[in-house]
A and B are shown apart, each in its own frame.
Chain A
């Protein structure tokens, strides 16, 4: 039985290998029809490998794509591989994704960041956290991307790291931090958002309010249901209070 399973894994791996190895050069073919078909074939292969109950096949094709990425393919090919890893990549892909995040091509680097953002393994969250801690981001856009990724993952404990960015004068970083803190919905982050409100007006204040309102916290709704607030903020806070109280009564 064990022999049978091993043989099937080896078979799946060899199939994936052949498939990816054949597809990679076509992804940068001068003939755009060939390139288009290769993209579709890669998607089909990854979709099939990602089907329920085919974990070995999924892992195998991901490792093959990682292997292809290590050979420094042209940016367009790297992006295609990374975008498929966004869909089916797991823990096995994380080391390669971290390497690719360091790519000198900003689009390839961001594809790798996106793949880390949606990778289900804890290692991906740790890698993103480490990148932000190192503060090696080369631009505001890159910093914003890392913050966004942590927010989208709802990476537990990330608020401490993200909170200082809520006061950033750079709009990209500010927006990313505010939205991430709202998603993370941790005490420290909510406090940071509430503190920052006093310093903001206009659309920056709108973003802060939106992040706070999505927290679902009664004390936040009470704070925002004030005559000095805009009608839409008051309305949202009022509904929040009603829902919170209704939920408490039902308990």
Chain B
């Protein structure tokens, strides 16, 4: 098993070097020889991609089941700061494979030390995304990291540069990029079917304010200090660390950008995709009360204005694009509407831009590990989308407008706002 594993890693290593040699671009062999794969649906052990899975909260459930069910994947280790969660995960892996080989760790560094692990899923709260991903990339591993990719713009830049430097593959969990309706909406905008886009609405909702909480005793087997990691110290309370789509840690600025980062990471990402701004971004951010809309939002230089939670949307969709020739509404569950109505049913012509969006975010990641091609939600894309989330949050928290230069990644003319491009880190947690 170990010997065969070496051959698998070597092949991918060769592809990594090829990719970096071509200045870390996409040039690399794209076809895996059939002989490299097994026969009759069996995947040779040497060709399995081996994983370490980090963070067993709500978001991990789908990833974990998906990866466990794949013949071409083998989970070699699990990690969580909650002993109960990681041991449950370990037991499930061992039961699935019929052995006792799954590593089980409190510290993610233990996964990074293992040379037999090819890649990691990083599915922790936001404040651990970059530190763990960075350790993985530096250890020669590929990464699937949940959205938003970063806690701060500065650390996002560090991770993006590191991924390029090490020739790693990284997929951000912005899986709306891999959903048909969003892909189609993006193609409709990119091909100018609704003309020049001037206004966009994104529906994020709002979390209640993260509240001061009374101290509770830390449950046995829960490494609270490590859960907090680089974030400010607070006494333990279950509601602070709870994984809850309506609150929990997501309510607190300390661990993310609240709804700006939670849903913003999905919807702002699609907006970037549609406008062809994946490697750039808007230049101006404003809080509620800035204009007559009453909404928070941002504006692209010489481009559309984006309003968050605008109440009078035409389609009541998650994202709505308005151009001088029509409008599009798009959301999950196949929601796709247009004005004119027949627009959404029009097929792409050969001369149209075809994005050929994948319909499986996981498949896209696994394919990229094999081919070394960039993923559909590559690290720089994730960094730029997360930057919008963070700048929106900075504008909201400071309650003032922010001018942003996406080329230099600097806030213009506001020293205090600029300090929010990064956050102080609690010792000993450093990048």
Interface positions of A (Cβ within 8 A of B): 32-33, 35-36, 39-40, 43-44, 47-48, 50-52, 58, 79, 83, 86-88, 107, 110-111, 113-115, 117-118, 120, 140-142, 144-145, 148, 151-152, 172, 175-176, 179, 202-203, 206-207, 209-210, 213, 230-236, 238-240, 242
Let me know if A238 and B211 touch, CB within 8 A: no
Q: In the assembly, what is the distance between CA of A88 and CA of B422, in Å?
A: 14
Let me know if B424 and A236 touch, CB within 8 A: no
Let me know if B232 and A202 touch, CB within 8 A: no
Give a binary string over B227-240; 1 marks a CB under 8 Å from any A CB, 0 the rest: 00000110000000
Given the known interface contacts A202-B113, A236-B20, the answer about A111 and B428 at a Cβ–Cβ threshold of 8 Å is no
B324 at the A interface (CB under 8 A) = no
Q: In the assembly, what is the distance between CA of A144 and CA of B164, in Å?
A: 29
Give a binary string over B197-225; 1 marks a CB under 8 Å from any A CB, 0 the rest: 00000000000011111100000000000
Let me know if A51 and B13 touch, CB within 8 A: no
Q: In the assembly, what is the distance between CA of A81 and CA of B316, in Å?
A: 43
Q: In the assembly, what is the distance between CA of A52 and CA of B112, in Å?
A: 44
Let me know if B232 and A111 touch, CB within 8 A: yes
Let me know if B109 and A203 touch, CB within 8 A: yes
B17 at the A interface (CB under 8 A) = yes
Question: For residue A107, which residues in chain B have a CB less than 8 angstroms away from its CB?
Answer: 233
| Nearest A residue (CB) for B14 | A231
Let me know if A206 and B112 touch, CB within 8 A: yes
Question: For residue B138, which residues in chain A have a CB less than 8 angstroms away from its CB?
Answer: 206-207, 209-210, 232
Q: In the assembly, what is the distance between CA of A137 and CA of B164, in Å?
A: 38
Let me know if A145 and B399 touch, CB within 8 A: no
- Residue from A120, A176, A239 with most neighbouring chain B CB atoms (10 Å): A239
Let me know if A83 and B232 touch, CB within 8 A: yes
Let me know if A145 and B427 touch, CB within 8 A: yes
| Nearest A residue (CB) for B168 | A232
| Nearest A residue (CB) for B18 | A235
* Sample of 12 more A-B contacts, CB < 8 Å, known A86-B419, A210-B138: A36-B209, A47-B416, A50-B416, A86-B424, A117-B424, A141-B428, A176-B428, A232-B166, A235-B166, A235-B167, A236-B20, A236-B165
Q: In the assembly, what is the distance between CA of A118 and CA of B424, in Å?
A: 7
Q: In the assembly, what is the distance between CA of A234 and CA of B19, in Å?
A: 12
Q: In the assembly, what is the distance between CA of A230 and CA of B139, in Å?
A: 9
Given the known interface contacts A36-B212, A39-B212, the answer about A235 and B20 at a Cβ–Cβ threshold of 8 Å is yes
B58 at the A interface (CB under 8 A) = no
10 pairs of A and B residues whose beta carbons are closest in the complex: A145-B427, A231-B13, A50-B416, A232-B140, A114-B424, A144-B428, A235-B20, A35-B212, A107-B233, A235-B167
> Chain A's nearest CB lies how many Å from the CB of B414?
5
26 interchain pairs, CB-CB under 8 A: A40-B209, A47-B398, A50-B415, A50-B416, A51-B414, A52-B415, A87-B419, A113-B427, A114-B424, A114-B425, A118-B419, A120-B415, A140-B428, A176-B430, A203-B113, A206-B135, A207-B138, A209-B138, A213-B165, A231-B13, A231-B140, A232-B13, A235-B16, A238-B17, A239-B21, A242-B21
Let me know if A242 and B23 touch, CB within 8 A: yes
B426 at the A interface (CB under 8 A) = yes
| Nearest B residue (CB) for A46 | B416
- Residue from B14, B23, B168, B425 with most neighbouring chain A CB atoms (10 Å): B425
B397 at the A interface (CB under 8 A) = yes
Let me know if A47 and B430 touch, CB within 8 A: no
Q: In the assembly, what is the distance between CA of A134 and CA of B408, in Å?
A: 39
Let me know if A232 and B416 touch, CB within 8 A: no
B24 at the A interface (CB under 8 A) = yes
Given the known interface contacts A87-B416, A213-B165, the answer about A239 and B426 at a Cβ–Cβ threshold of 8 Å is no
> Chain A's nearest CB lies how many Å from the CB of B233?
4
Let me know if B113 and A145 touch, CB within 8 A: no
Given the known interface contacts A79-B233, A203-B109, A231-B17, the answer about A32 and B213 at a Cβ–Cβ threshold of 8 Å is yes
> Chain B's nearest CB lies how many Å from the CB of A46?
9
Let me know if B20 and A47 touch, CB within 8 A: no
> Chain A's nearest CB lies how many Å from the CB of B390?
15
Question: For residue A113, which residues in chain B have a CB less than 8 angstroms away from its CB?
Answer: 427
Question: For residue A151, which residues in chain B have a CB less than 8 angstroms away from its CB?
Answer: 430
Question: For residue B162, which residues in chain A have a CB less than 8 angstroms away from its CB?
Answer: 210
Question: For residue A110, which residues in chain B have a CB less than 8 angstroms away from its CB?
Answer: 233, 426-427
Let me know if A32 and B214 touch, CB within 8 A: yes
Q: In the assembly, what is the distance between CA of A203 and CA of B427, in Å?
A: 19
Q: In the assembly, what is the distance between CA of A236 and CA of B19, in Å?
A: 11
> Chain A's nearest CB lies how many Å from the CB of B235?
8
Question: For residue B165, which residues in chain A have a CB less than 8 angstroms away from its CB?
Answer: 213, 236, 239-240
| Nearest B residue (CB) for A118 | B424
> Chain B's nearest CB lies how many Å from the CB of A89?
10
Residues 375-431 of B contacting A (Cβ, < 8 Å): 397-400, 413-416, 419-420, 422, 424-428, 430-431
Let me know if A88 and B428 touch, CB within 8 A: no
Given the known interface contacts A36-B211, A110-B233, A111-B232, the answer about A239 and B424 at a Cβ–Cβ threshold of 8 Å is no
Question: For residue B398, which residues in chain A have a CB less than 8 angstroms away from its CB?
Answer: 47, 50-51
Let me know if A232 and B232 touch, CB within 8 A: no
Let me know if A206 and B139 touch, CB within 8 A: yes
Let me know if A239 and B20 touch, CB within 8 A: yes
> Chain A's nearest CB lies how many Å from the CB of B70?
24
| Nearest A residue (CB) for B17 | A235
Q: In the assembly, what is the distance between CA of A102 and CA of B362, in Å?
A: 50
Question: For residue B397, which residues in chain A have a CB less than 8 angstroms away from its CB?
Answer: 43, 47
| Nearest A residue (CB) for B414 | A52
Q: In the assembly, what is the distance between CA of A131 and CA of B1, in Å?
A: 52
> Chain A's nearest CB lies how many Å from the CB of B225?
10
| Nearest A residue (CB) for B24 | A239
Question: For residue A117, which residues in chain B have a CB less than 8 angstroms away from its CB?
Answer: 424
- Residue from B17, B213, B416 with most neighbouring chain A CB atoms (10 Å): B416
Let me know if A203 and B424 touch, CB within 8 A: no
Q: In the assembly, what is the distance between CA of A36 and CA of B426, in Å?
A: 22
Question: For residue B416, which residues in chain A have a CB less than 8 angstroms away from its CB?
Answer: 47, 50-52, 58, 87-88
Given the known interface contacts A179-B430, A202-B113, A203-B113, the answer about A234 and B212 at a Cβ–Cβ threshold of 8 Å is no
Q: In the assembly, what is the distance between CA of A145 and CA of B137, in Å?
A: 24
- Residue from B166, B413, B422 with most neighbouring chain A CB atoms (10 Å): B166
Contact of B167 among A39, A51, A232 (CB under 8 A): A232
| Nearest A residue (CB) for B134 | A210
